[in-house]
Chain A
Amino acid sequence: MKKWFLFLMLLVAFTLTKASLLQANSDYQAFEEVTLKDGKFLKDISSSDLNKYYKKVNKRKFYGWRSYDIHSDLKLSYKTETLFSYHNDGATPIKYSYSMKKKNVETRSLTSTGDIKVKISGKIQSFSNNLDSQLKLNSQSTEKKELEEEYKIQLDIDPGTRLNLYIYGEGKITNGVAINYIFWLKYKKGGYEIFTVTTQYYRLEKVRI
């Protein structure tokens, strides 16, 4: 009976500690250009380095997460998209009036590897199994609702030129590893990454076609 019980416990422990390191699927990969001044993205950290960091959260606990920040608030810059591009192929200058509405921007983007999952409820992202509390992430919506603010930009576009308005910005990256324990057993383990937009810039330029 004792052997059966021991075998069952081992089986449960093995099932709970299974670790699958998946490639991070980060939203900011969709940006045209991302430049990290220092450090590494979670997806660029090798498995051997990750295993080294897992040792920092290896101390078992009765219940809950242990986490370790590999990089904290790394500065990065990015270029996202061209808001508009307007051509004047004609022979005379044209007056162009553009209504610039401030966009809804999700200021925080989460990615994960391994057993940690990112939940999406509406437009709000959060980590599964309450990892947010361990990482002290604000649970409220991070979406900027600024569609009410509308500005008019009035410019002359000369013949044979194109008017572009594009966005670039700055943000911060924090990434690390975490293990979730239940009754001192490893239940889930994986990597997390939090990207936060801090500033977004607008650049206007007229170029010759």
Chain B
Amino acid sequence: MKKLFYPLIILFIIVLMVINYLSYQAPKTKKFITQNKVYTNLNGEPLFVDIYCNHKSAYHQKEAFDEIFLKDDKGDNKWLLNLDDIFKKESYSYLKESFNCYLYCFTLPKLTIDVEMEEAYLVLKLKNGEELKLLIGSFNYYYQDNNNLNLIECFATKKDNLLELETVNLKFSLEEEFTITKLKIGSRSFNYQKTVSAEEIVSLEIPPLLKIVDALSLKLTYQIGTREYHEVLPYFVFFENFENPLSFSILNNVYTVN
């Protein structure tokens, strides 16, 4: 019996060491991911922002926030947002980690001017003093009280392997022809010379923006004769993506926090 005592003790210690080694998990780095997107807001409609996280924290509780605002790093615009709610959506895999998607729903103040943020940051300030500043893409606020153009057909095609529009197709009911000279998508403008006739679909090709461009208000500049007009088209969801959005890694802004 005495002969077995020491080997058993050694075996017991080895088992304990193995259990200890297996149970050790490297501390997980807390990460937030936002994606560059073209956000447009018409007349103070709600604003929806998706934020992906690999952990649960106070940033997912509505009551924990002191204030939230949108800020343009290149300008002086700072816009206080009212957080209506936070919803947990699906989880997605990204670089062997699982990220939950949280939808932040905001109400914007109604302004009578247009606002543009080429690089919009969402600044989340907690009551405990913690703060996060996340790049979400570009943001445009449009004020429009009435439409001059009568849009009667609207649809789009999507670029392969990107979450953005390839073409926008529009048809108008009109009494006289006009020429589309410019299309504004977020903070970028593209020039065209497309004459729009009655009952004819006009197709506008969109160059790559490397941002999510799926649901927005388009701003058109058009000419009738020599006079130039501007029109903000109604907010429209052109397409929805059902693949893992984080797999489009070119869009991702990854933030690590302590």
Contact = CB atoms under 8 A, between A and B. Distances in A.
Tell whether A pairs with B: yes
A202 interface: yes
Contacts, number: 85
Contacts of A102: 237, 240
Interface of B: 45-46, 48, 85, 87, 89-91, 103, 105, 147, 150-158, 171, 173, 215, 234-243
A145 interface: yes
A201 B168 CA distance: 12
A156 B89 contact: no
B83 to A, nearest CB: 13
Interface size class of A (residues with CB under 8 A): 20 to 34
B155 A201 contact: yes
A205 B153 contact: yes
A203 interface: yes
Chain B: interface secondary structure? strand
Q: Which 6 A-B pairs have the closest CB atoms?
A: A203-B155, A206-B152, A205-B153, A107-B242, A204-B154, A148-B87
A145 B102 CA distance: 11
Nearest to B156: A201
B240 A200 contact: yes
Contact of B173 (A100, A148, A206): A206
A203 B154 contact: yes
A105 B237 CA distance: 15
A22 B235 CA distance: 47
Chain A: interface secondary structure? strand
A202 B155 contact: yes
A153 B235 contact: yes
Given A155-B151, A156-B150, A100 B237 contact: yes
B212 to A, nearest CB: 13
